[in-house]
Structure 1
Amino acid sequence: MPDALLSTRALVAHYGDFQALFGVSIDVQPEEVVAIIGANGAGKTTFMRSITGLIRNRPEMVVWKGQAIGGLRADQVAHLGIAMVPEGRQLFQSLSVEENLIIGGQMGRKGPWSLKTVQDLFPILKERRHVPATALSGGQQQMVAIGRALMANPEILLFDEISLGLAPIVIKSIYEALPAIIGEGMSAIIVEQDIAKAVSVSDRVYCLQEGRISLQGRPDELTREAISAAYFGV
C-alpha cells in the first residue's frame, strides 16, 4: 500500500543456511494495530528482528515511510521511530527500574512519553523505581520493557510475545493498558500466540505458518475455523 507507514516486501530471512521467512509481505497503516499470530517456530520473532535491524536484509525488503531500510543497523532503525518490546524483556539486570526506563529515552525523540507519563501508566514502576529491574515479578518486568520502549517516543511499537510466560491476571492488566499505550497516534504490531487476545485488539490480522503468510484479513472477516486452519496448517 503506497500510504503504509511500514511495509515488508517479499521479506526473506535466514539463520546461516536455514531459511526462516519466505516472501512475507505485510503493511501497517498509520495508527493501525496489526496482530501477527502463529505457533512456535512460525517465524514471528524473526519477522520482528528483521524489521528492527537485528537481522539485516536487502534494503527494499523493509520500507518505512517510503524509505528502504532493510539494510540499516538496529540503532539506525530505532532513531527512525521504530521501537520493540522484545521477547523475554531483555532488561539490564545491573540497573534499577528507573535506570532501565531512562535508557529508553536516550534517542531524544520528542513526544508524549516521559518518565512521569510512563510511571503514571504503571504506578508500580514509580513505587519500585530504585529496585533492580530483574528483581521484579515477570509482569512488572514486562511493564518496564514496555515503558522503556515508550520512552523512545516511537511512531510504531512492536510487541514480541507480549503475554509469554505471564499469569492470566497480569496479561489482562497489560491488555487493558494497551488503549492508553497506543492511543497517542501510534501504530503497533503485536506478535502473540494467544489468538483471542491478538484478534480482540487488532485492526488486521496476519497468520504465519512455517515462515509464510497463511491467512490475512480484518478480525470481523475471519472465522474461527479459518484462523485455526491457518494457525495449525490443517
Structure 2
Amino acid sequence: MPDALLTLQALNAHYGDFQALYGVDLRVDPGEVVAVIGANGAGKTTMLRSIAGLLKNAPGAIRWKGQAIGALRADQVAGRGIALVPEGRLLFPSLSVEENLVIGGQLGRKGPWSLQRVYDLFPILKERRHQQSTSLSGGQQQMVAIGRALMANPELVLMDEISLGLAPVIIRQIYEALPGIVGEGLTAVIVEQDIAKALSVSQRVYCLQEGRVSLEGQSQTVPREDITRAYFGV
C-alpha cells in the first residue's frame, strides 16, 4: 500500500464536556476520494473540523504525511495543504464572489488553481463575480465555497455536506464537476448523508454512528445491508 496522506488514530473530540468522537481511525491515500456517511449527530462534521484544525486534538491523533498535526491551528493546517469546504458554506457576506475566491488563495501555495480555473469549472461565478456572495442562490454559493477552497491549491479538500438543502439539479451539477476537481491528483474526503451519491463518487467509504466508526469498506463492493446496519445501528 502507498504511504497514507492522512491518518486518524484513536481520534477523540470534545465540545466542552461533551464527547463527540470516540477513538476514530481513518486512512486516506493520495489521489483517492473517501466518503464519510452517517446520520445527523454521528460526528462527521466534528471529524472534518478536527482535521482542519478548528478543534484541538492530541498531536498524534491526526497525521499528515506521517507528521503529527492534531494540535496545529487552522491556518497552519491550511498551510500544509488541507482545505475545508464547510457545512453551510460560511461565505463572507460583505464581500463579492470574486473577493471570497481571492481570500482562498491568501496563503500563496503554488498549484493549478486560479481565478480563471475556478471560473472555467463554474462559469456562472464569472458572470456573477462582482455580486455580493450571499445574494447568489444556494447552489451558486456552494460553488463559491468549493472554489474558495480550491484557490488554496490544497492536496486534500474536505467537503462537508455540499449537497445539503440544494435542488437535485444543482446537486447533479456540483457532483458532475467533481472529476474536474480531483482529476489532477487532488485527494478528497466527502461527508454526505446521501448514501447513494457518496458511494457513486468515492473509492472507499466510512460510516460513523454516535461518534464511532461502524463500517469501512470499498464503495462499490460493500454490501448494502452492512451499510444499513452501520448507518442505523440495527
TM bin, normalised by shorter chain, reads over 0.9
User: Paired residue for 1:209?
Assistant: 209
After the TM superposition, which residues 127-146 of structure 1 pair with which residues of structure 2 at under 5 Å, given as runs? 127-146=127-146
Deviation at 1:36, TM superposition (A): 0.2
Tell me the distance in 2 between the aligned counterparts of 1:220 and 1:123: 32
User: Is 2:194 the counterpart of 1:194?
Assistant: yes
Tell me the distance in 2 between the aligned counterparts of 1:180 and 1:19: 37
Deviation at 1:219, TM superposition (A): 1.5
User: Paired residue for 1:30?
Assistant: 30
Equivalent residues of 2:203, 2:220 under 8 A apart: no
Letter matched to residue 124 of structure 1: I
Aligned residue-pair number: 234
Deviation at 1:141, TM superposition (A): 0.1
Letter matched to residue 233 of structure 1: G
Tell me the distance in 2 between the aligned counterparts of 1:56 and 1:16: 12
User: Paired residue for 2:230?
Assistant: 230
Letter matched to residue 186 of structure 1: L
User: Paired residue for 1:21?
Assistant: 21
Deviation per residue, 1:152-189 (Å, 9 max, x gap): 00000000011001011100010000000111111000
Q: TM-score if structure 1 supplies the norm length?
A: 0.99
User: Paired residue for 1:166?
Assistant: 166
Equivalent residues of 2:2, 2:29 under 8 A apart: no
- Secondary structure of 2:177's counterpart equals helix
Equivalent residues of 2:156, 2:188 under 8 A apart: yes
After the TM superposition, which residues 36-115 of structure 1 pair with which residues of structure 2 at under 5 Å, given as runs? 36-115=36-115
User: Paired residue for 2:5?
Assistant: 5
Deviation per residue, 1:11-69 (Å, 9 max, x gap): 00011111100000000000011000000000000000000000000100000001000
Tell me the distance in 2 between the aligned counterparts of 1:159 and 1:116: 21
93-102 or 213-222, which deviates more: 213-222
Deviation per residue, 1:55-97 (Å, 9 max, x gap): 0001000000010000000000000000010000000000000
Tell me the distance in 2 between the aligned counterparts of 1:60 and 1:44: 20
User: Paired residue for 1:178?
Assistant: 178
Which runs of at least 4 in structure 1 moved beyond 2 Å after TM superposition?
none
Letter matched to residue 78 of structure 1: A
Tell me the distance in 2 between the aligned counterparts of 1:204 and 1:140: 28
Tell me the distance in 2 between the aligned counterparts of 1:228 and 1:177: 28
Deviation per residue, 1:100-129 (Å, 9 max, x gap): 000001010010100000001100100000
User: Paired residue for 2:220?
Assistant: 220
Tell me the distance in 1 between the aligned counterparts of 2:3 and 2:113: 26
Letter matched to residue 63 of structure 1: R
Letter matched to residue 134 of structure 2: T
Tell me the distance in 1 between the aligned counterparts of 2:169 and 2:228: 25
Q: Structure 2 regions of 5+ residues with no counterpart?
A: none
Deviation at 1:2, TM superposition (A): 7.2
Tell me the distance in 2 between the aligned counterparts of 1:5 and 1:34: 12
Letter matched to residue 23 of structure 1: G
Identity across matched positions, percent: 74
Letter matched to residue 116 of structure 1: Q
Letter matched to residue 157 of structure 1: V
Aligned Cα root-mean-square deviation (Å): 0.8
